[in-house]
Structure 1
Amino acid sequence: MSLDTRTRPDHEGSTTTVSPGTNADARAATRESLEDYTLRFAPRSYRKWGAGVVATSALGGIAYLADFSIGANVGIAHGTTNALLGITVAAFIIFVTGLPLAYYAARYNIDLDLITRGSGFGYHGSVITNVIFATFTFIFFALEGSIMAQGLELGLGIPKPIGYALSTLLIIPLVIYGMKTLATLQVWTTPLWLVLMVIPVGYLVLANPDSVGSFFAYQGESGAGAGVSFASVMLAAGVCLSLIAQIAEQIDYLRFMPPKTDENRVAWWRAVILAGPGWVIFGAIKQITGLFITVYLIATLDPAASATANEPVHQFLGVYREMMPAWLAMTLAVILVVISQVKINVTNAYSGSLAWTNSFTRVTRTYPGRMVFVVVNLAIALALMELNMFDFLNTILGFYANCAMAWIVTVATDIVVNKYILKLSPKYPEFRRGMLYNWNPVGVTSLALSAGISIAMFFGAFGPAVAPYSPIFAVLIAMIVTPVMAVLTQGRYYLRRVDDGIDLPMVDADGNPSDVTLTCHVTGMEFERPDMLLSNELAPDGSKQYISSLALATDKTGKYVLPAQR
């Protein structure tokens, strides 16, 4: 390093010396990632929230109204009985696969991309899954934006194309400042959202007890729901399983969990389970509620009005009108739609920008800034809205579900089977460049086979009789191929190195990531132990130097990367 140095504040508010010749991209990424930790794990120095606040913030992100549309659409298509069974099947799969992912995120304070790298995909292999996740965020941003535009058109007479633009532009200023702003927004808006959503549903059940019987007797528009049809159950489950990637958004909050100790272990586990895989319980309830309201509206409204019964704004407006004057019903319906859209779409925009930024930086070694990809993600979502994706909801979600399941089930299987049963995958989640191979055939092969075969099935390549079962095949193929590939490769491609060159423990006495700090010689900043490696470049006096994973991510030369050990 040059002796000519200057100082600037670090993330603790003190000062560190930074050479003018240090990596500019690393410094830029560091400044922005102080708030969102785009490219690295969340250090203990930043994680000041209690388990309850983190859980509340994470659950605030599931305030979306798309569940009401999804439940309504699968019920209209397949009848109440088949829809309920499909929702239950999907919820079970999502909960079981989400639990190990949520645990790893909360325990080791890393997002799903960092988990994926060390769980069968490799340093560059997880770029593929990042694209899958980014796709999830703009699909559901577009879906929620469409719902908000429906509310604005109905309540304020704003044309949908303008409503689409407003629902997009409204989100941009809210996602600039990262986790602190999002946590505050979610905590303060959740009580009002719950009141607006729960009270009308309770009123409908109490005031119209016959609606319960009509709900269970509903057979769908075509009458296909007369009795249980396994094919219909699987088709319904496939649409609901498109939400399996929601666990990645939950993890974007859960990675900020406080360290797990003997004193907080009950609260810690409660928060992880409820805000992690537990989100699907609330999601399933919303899907069932959406179907319940829709069946009621179809039975009580004229055919023209019931045509919009799958749109959440019309669902709640129909119930509100039975409780209060029309003007107040309209006002509350619009408020509910706007609050819900903002709560979920700040998370969609935030998480999508993290995914795009992470992938772009790894591929190009250049950090463009997260806000660039906030705009990119929202531009794609706006295009989908303008193309009226809402009318093709079942097809879009059914197709996407196969990709999402292939990824999530592969990672979950690697954690449970390859790490803990076969012991071929390292238990500690490695994510640092130089420690991992760029590509691991275990996860990449499982993803390719699971997604490829199930998508082909979905589009009828193996005949229409088999097409409804594509979600089950996506799950089964990923569960089988992941351990088989680990055995065939004997875990050879998980770790490029087994030693990071630092003689300090990675975890503390409670098993939490260590908060001991080391200085990165490239950025001149202090980073906690899990983020650091020995640099391959010695100091001028021949002594060891250390480098952060962040600086490695933006290094174009490769001169700091340690040689392979395997």
Structure 2
Amino acid sequence: MSTTESRATSTPPTTTESRATSETLEDYTLRFAPRSYRRWTPAVVATTALGGIAYMADFSIGAGIGLAHGTGNALLAIAVAAVVIFATGFPLAYYGARYNLDLDLITRGSGFGYYGSVLTSVIFASFTFIFFALEGSIMAQGLKLGLGLPLWLGYLVSTLMVIPLVIYGMSALSKLQVWTTPVWLLLMVGPLVYLVATDPGTVDRFLSYAGTDGQGGIDTASVLLGAGVCLSLIAQIGEQIDYLRFMPPRTEANKRGWWTAVVMAGPGWVVLGALKQAIGVFLAVYIIAEVGADAAPEPIQQFRGAFDAMLPSWLVVPLAVVLVVISQIKINVTNAYSGSLAWTNSFTRVTRHYPGRLVFVLVNLGFALALMEADMFSFLNDILGFYSNCAIAWIVTVATDIGVNKYLLRISPLRPEFRRGMLYAVNPVGVIAFTAASGLSIAMYFHALGDTLQPYSPVAAAVIAFVLTPLVAYVTKGRYYLRRTDDGLDEPMLDADGNPSAVTYDCHVCHQSYERPDLAACATHDAVVCSLCLSTDGVGDHLLPAQPPLA
């Protein structure tokens, strides 16, 4: 087959196909991000990705752990979680940036199968609306303090205001994140520097704070409980990859900047995240005597107290509200965006119908608004502690499949695969490892195995996933990864530099032009079909037959 084909024009695309290929709005929801669209530099992609972690939840999470267990236990918990998140996030970020796929597409070929990864897509979508609700609650607290808005109205405002910003995907988000990041950094770091410089005693009070659980010194159970809450953020790497998939090809000329961007904006997000959690502990201890333990975890109260020490009284509340609003917008456009990608992926695979990404922007926001109105902020740590078990099991399973099964044991195919027809529906490697790890750790979290083991649920989730992923792959001999190894096209998938090929073909179903990694030969026509049309093929007319197993 030739490497290029003239575009067919005889049959116009259907309404569904037109929606799916309107990439300005859909932002490559279901597929590989082509080179023709990836026009940003590594620095811009990294800045956009890091702008998405401007959330205030870290301050609340750190404060909640510190107030309960003391500063020493909190700092150790934050450090333990950061190491795990960095180690698991690195292979995922590399794969997303190198092969220009989001985490759902990576998960499909890294142990879960085409339909098996629907389970993890729902988990990731849940992550986005849980944290949207958390950030929306924080913004509503700021609007109540600054403008007197009742909380229910603040929840609604924080939900509706992101819709215009998230509609146009990466094109709009890159501009928003780049321009707001300097202001956000100044407002966040300035008060901390001022307090430490003008009142060194704040550091001593911070370091000596013992917490309310009465433990006093370092306690293993307290550290692990705190780490479990922090590890609920492990799925944040999925949102980072939603940006990193738009990285330009890696070449000899740009490889230093490329790697710097991938590490800093990929697993490196947790460095800034851990710093914010530690600052949250510091500020909560600083204001606890004034506002009490119930209000101290609220970021609006933390920064109001910090600004009050360095600014005229008339400027304190407005500036604190500005910081909260900027932070909420920066993260919640990302939450809404990434959630819409995850829901759309899941729905389209299950129903083989593509309703458009914008439908699921509204679905995700609806779930988040319901959580806010239910006052999720009051039981934040319980939600995050439970959720972290599922998130850890998923991320560790995929990271282990890439790092161990692909690169070390060579059981899993090295190059990622995401196209329907090329993958088995379900791969037992990831599904078994994830189900066992999350199921047992959740049982531990709810004291089903006794009070002594309860704090160790996040450890159990990580260890079980790490052990079972290569074990199941070895037992099954890796036979359930690929349904086919040949997609029927002679053109190589990768170019001479190892980047996804930019050679284009026209899909004979929707008559759109796609780059090589997005296509496969059609089973019933002497032509090619794109991954979008494969996903929505209701009768399997275009799918190549399974290859017979190797002897």
- Shorter-chain TM-score range: over 0.9
1:33, CA displacement in angstroms? 6.3
State which of 449, 474, 479 in structure 1 corresponds to 2:466: 479
2:192 matches 1:201 = yes
Q: Aligned letter for 2:111?
A: G
Q: Is the 8 A contact 1:25 1:554 kept in 2?
A: no
1:17, CA displacement in angstroms? 3.8
- TM normalised by structure 1 equals 0.95
Q: Is the 8 A contact 1:35 1:179 kept in 2?
A: no
Distance 1:450 1:321, change over 3 A: same
Q: Is the 8 A contact 2:25 2:167 kept in 1?
A: no
2:339 matches 1:348 = no
Per the alignment, residue 3 of structure 2 pairs with none
State which of 517, 521, 532 in structure 2 corresponds to 1:550: 532
1:325, CA displacement in angstroms? 1.4
Structure 2: distance between partners of 1:325 and 1:260:
50
1:280, CA displacement in angstroms? 0.3
State which of 223, 228, 251 in structure 1 corresponds to 2:218: 228
1:35, CA displacement in angstroms? 4.9
Per the alignment, residue 492 of structure 2 pairs with 505
Distance 1:66 1:167, change over 3 A: same
1:13-33 residue CA offsets vs partner (Å, 9 max, x unmatched): xx9544437554233211146
Question: 3-state DSSP class of the match of 2:410?
Answer: coil
Structure 1 gap segments, 5+ residues each = 1-14, 539-543
RMSD between superposed Cα atoms in Å: 1.2
1:494, CA displacement in angstroms? 0.2
1:31-60 residue CA offsets vs partner (Å, 9 max, x unmatched): 146651000010000000000000000000
State which of 63, 67, 73 in structure 1 corresponds to 2:54: 63
Q: Percent identity?
A: 65
Structure 2: distance between partners of 1:22 and 1:307:
57
Question: 3-state DSSP class of the match of 2:529?
Answer: strand
Per the alignment, residue 298 of structure 1 pairs with 288
Structure 2: distance between partners of 1:16 and 1:89:
54
Question: 3-state DSSP class of the match of 1:323?
Answer: coil
2:367 matches 1:380 = yes
Count how many residue pairs are aligned between Structure 1 and Structure 2.
543
Q: Aligned letter for 2:60?
A: S
State which of 109, 114, 126 in structure 2 corresponds to 1:135: 126
State which of 252, 257, 271 in structure 2 corresponds to 1:262: 252
Structure 2: distance between partners of 1:150 and 1:119:
41
Q: Is the 8 A contact 2:24 2:168 kept in 1?
A: no
Q: Aligned letter for 1:298?
A: I
Question: 3-state DSSP class of the match of 2:309?
Answer: helix
State which of 459, 476, 500 in structure 2 corresponds to 1:489: 476
1:294-328 residue CA offsets vs partner (Å, 9 max, x unmatched): 111124x2xx5453111000000001011111220
Within 5 Å, give how 1:180-191 maps onto structure 2.
180-191=171-182
Runs of 4+ in 1 over 6 A off after TM superposition: none
Question: 3-state DSSP class of the match of 1:461?
Answer: coil
Question: 3-state DSSP class of the match of 1:85?
Answer: helix
1:369-420 residue CA offsets vs partner (Å, 9 max, x unmatched): 1111111110110010000000101100000000000000000000011101
1:354-381 residue CA offsets vs partner (Å, 9 max, x unmatched): 0001110111111111111111110110
1:416-443 residue CA offsets vs partner (Å, 9 max, x unmatched): 1110111110000000000000100000
Within 5 Å, give how 1:118-157 maps onto structure 2.
118-157=109-148
Per the alignment, residue 409 of structure 2 pairs with 422
Question: 3-state DSSP class of the match of 1:547?
Answer: strand
Structure 2: distance between partners of 1:406 and 1:492:
22
1:53-85 residue CA offsets vs partner (Å, 9 max, x unmatched): 000000000000000000000001111111111
Structure 2 gap segments, 5+ residues each = 1-5
Structure 1: distance between partners of 2:293 and 2:534:
57
Q: Is the 8 A contact 1:115 1:429 kept in 2?
A: yes
Question: 3-state DSSP class of the match of 2:22?
Answer: helix
State which of 319, 324, 329 in structure 1 corresponds to 2:306: 319
1:169, CA displacement in angstroms? 0.5
Q: Is the 8 A contact 2:26 2:356 kept in 1?
A: no
Question: 3-state DSSP class of the match of 2:520?
Answer: strand
Per the alignment, residue 107 of structure 2 pairs with 116
- TM normalised by structure 2 equals 0.97
Per the alignment, residue 248 of structure 1 pairs with 238
Per the alignment, residue 100 of structure 1 pairs with 91
2:439 matches 1:449 = no
Q: Is the 8 A contact 2:26 2:357 kept in 1?
A: no
Question: 3-state DSSP class of the match of 2:412?
Answer: coil
Structure 2: distance between partners of 1:386 and 1:262:
52
Structure 2: distance between partners of 1:525 and 1:442:
35
2:163 matches 1:172 = yes
1:233, CA displacement in angstroms? 0.4
Structure 2: distance between partners of 1:18 and 1:169:
40
State which of 269, 287, 295 in structure 2 corresponds to 1:279: 269
Q: Aligned letter for 1:463?
A: G
Q: Aligned letter for 1:250?
A: Q
Per the alignment, residue 49 of structure 1 pairs with 40
Q: Aligned letter for 1:39?
A: L
Question: 3-state DSSP class of the match of 1:182?
Answer: helix
Per the alignment, residue 87 of structure 1 pairs with 78
